[in-house]
């Protein structure tokens, strides 16, 4: 009886180990996706670029008005 129990226990142990290995293989690596700081930095830089583009266009319009074109 003990022999059968140990065989079943070993089979269950290897089954759960193989299931965990399969799950780990399907998961993407931890560093594959960009982090929150990287995404926030990209958003900040894009908004900064839009801001300076808008300011440049406003200054160009003011200069054209001053020149009377």
C-alpha torsion sign, points 20, 25, 26, 29? positive
What's the pLDDT band for 68 if we cut at 50, 70, 90? confident
Residues in the chain, how many? 69
In this prediction, residue 55 carries a pLDDT of 97
Tell me: the pLDDT tens digits for 15-52?
666 666 677 667 666 666 678 888 899 999 999 999 99
Confidence (pTM): 0.45
Tell me: the pLDDT tens digits for 44-58?
999 999 999 999 999
Domain boundaries, position 31 = 2-67
Domain count, the chain: 1
For residue 4, is pLDDT > 80?
no
């Amino acid at each position: 009886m003990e022999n059968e129990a140990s065989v079943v226990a070993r089979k269950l142990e290897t089954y759960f180990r193989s299931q965990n290995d399969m799950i780990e293989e399907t998961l993407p690596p931890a560093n594959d996706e960009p982090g929150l700081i990287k995404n926030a930095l990209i958003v900040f830089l894009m908004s900064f670029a839009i801001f300076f583009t808008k300011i440049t266009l406003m200054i160009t319009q003011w200069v054209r008005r001053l020149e009377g074109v």
